[in-house]
Amino acid sequence: MQDKDAEELEIGDFIRTLKARHGYDFAQYAPASFKRRLRALRVRTGAASISALSRRVTDEPAFLRQVLAGLSVPVSEMFRDPWVFEALRREVLPILASYPRIHIWQAGCAHGEEVYSLAILLQEEGLYDKSQIFATDLNDVALEEAAEGIYAASSARLFSENYQRAGGRYSLSDYFHARYERIKFDESLKRNVTFASHNLSTDGVFAEVQLILCRNVLIYFNDALQNRVLQLFRDSLVHKGFLCLGSKETLAHTTVERDFDAFDLPARLYRRHAPR
């Protein structure tokens, strides 16, 4: 048997072990990028083979955190794709303002960069006090860091430029304190944020919300899992609620395509309509 085939078998076995032992199902992740992350995890943890990783998953329950952190890609930035946040500010928040309470789900929030971005937007539009943001991810290590709101000072320049391009009203530095090599966002920005573990592959509706941001997450899933997650989003949104995807993601050719109208395609903003 060729090495490549042997590796495929080991990967299949790893996926089954993780599911059987811990209930995490990676079977429907896009295979090429999943394989890359699994190989990197093997190297980082010093495992001799992927089978050795499977054994650690079986024998050491505490290893799971490290595995989930290694398999996820918690890469993000504040006001990433600034035109999206500008569109949210200009087109979506004025509509959400008519609700007595605003509920937002940020799925796949990584280290929380988009969560603080949203909190700042809501604050500047005078809506934060009546808003609740549910920020979820599969990766508990990333979620803990998200709740801290601490980032490398070297990111401040990019974050500030994005903020200005997104129509920021002040200076981003008004919202954080710089200390040594780190910046820490004001505690008040997370007073209406709930950070929680939620697995889009297996968990159900999280809450009924008027806006879902799930950007740069679906790209890691195969078509079947993308459809599952998109149906979950549709069922979590109020009628006329908004869905915002990443710049490489789309509802075209998915099972929910007919349940949404394109609202602002360059910003990947869709609006749910009532069942036809």
Question: CB count, 10 Å around CB of 266?
Answer: 10
**45 forms part of the interface with ligand SAM (CB under 6 A):** no
Binding segment for ligand SAM (CB under 6 A), chosen from 84-92, 137-145, 168-176, 253-261, is 137-145
Q: What is the DSSP string of 140-166?
A: HHHHHHHHHTEEEGGGHHHHHHHHHHT
Q: Which of 28, 54, 76, 254 binds ligand SAM (CB under 6 A)?
A: 76
Question: CB count, 10 Å around CB of 192?
Answer: 17
Binding segment for ligand SAM (CB under 6 A), chosen from 31-39, 55-63, 131-139, 234-242, is 131-139
**137 forms part of the interface with ligand SAM (CB under 6 A):** yes
Question: Exposed, middle or buried by CB within 10 Å (0-12, 13-18, 19+), for 207?
Answer: middle
The residues in 236-255 that bind ligand SAM, with binding defined as CB under 6 A, are 246
Cα 216 vs. chain centroid, distance in angstroms?
7
Q: Which of 88, 119, 120, 200 binds ligand SAM (CB under 6 A)?
A: 200
**268 forms part of the interface with ligand SAM (CB under 6 A):** no
**78 forms part of the interface with ligand SAM (CB under 6 A):** no
Closest CA to 263 of 237, 225, 232, 229: 237
Binding segment for ligand SAM (CB under 6 A), chosen from 4-12, 48-56, 85-93, 198-206, is 198-206
Residue 28's alpha-carbon distances to 147, 201, 228, 259, in angstroms, are: 29, 8, 10, 23
**Which residue's CB comes closest to ligand SAM?**
72
CA distance 224 to 237: 20
Q: Which of 28, 54, 72, 131 binds ligand SAM (CB under 6 A)?
A: 72
Which residue number, 38 or 142, has a Cβ lying nearer to ligand SAM?
142
Q: Which of 80, 190, 234, 268 binds ligand SAM (CB under 6 A)?
A: 80
CA distance 153 to 159: 10
Which residue number, 9 or 196, has a Cβ lying nearer to ligand SAM?
196
Which residue number, 10 or 114, has a Cβ lying nearer to ligand SAM?
114
Q: Which of 155, 164, 201, 227 binds ligand SAM (CB under 6 A)?
A: 201
Closest CA to 138 of 201, 208, 59, 184: 201
CA distance 89 to 234: 22
Least distance CB 62 / ligand SAM (angstroms): 19
Question: CB count, 10 Å around CB of 267?
Answer: 20
Q: Which of 87, 88, 93, 138 binds ligand SAM (CB under 6 A)?
A: 138
Which residue number, 129 or 203, has a Cβ lying nearer to ligand SAM?
203
Amino acid identity, residue 12?
Answer: G
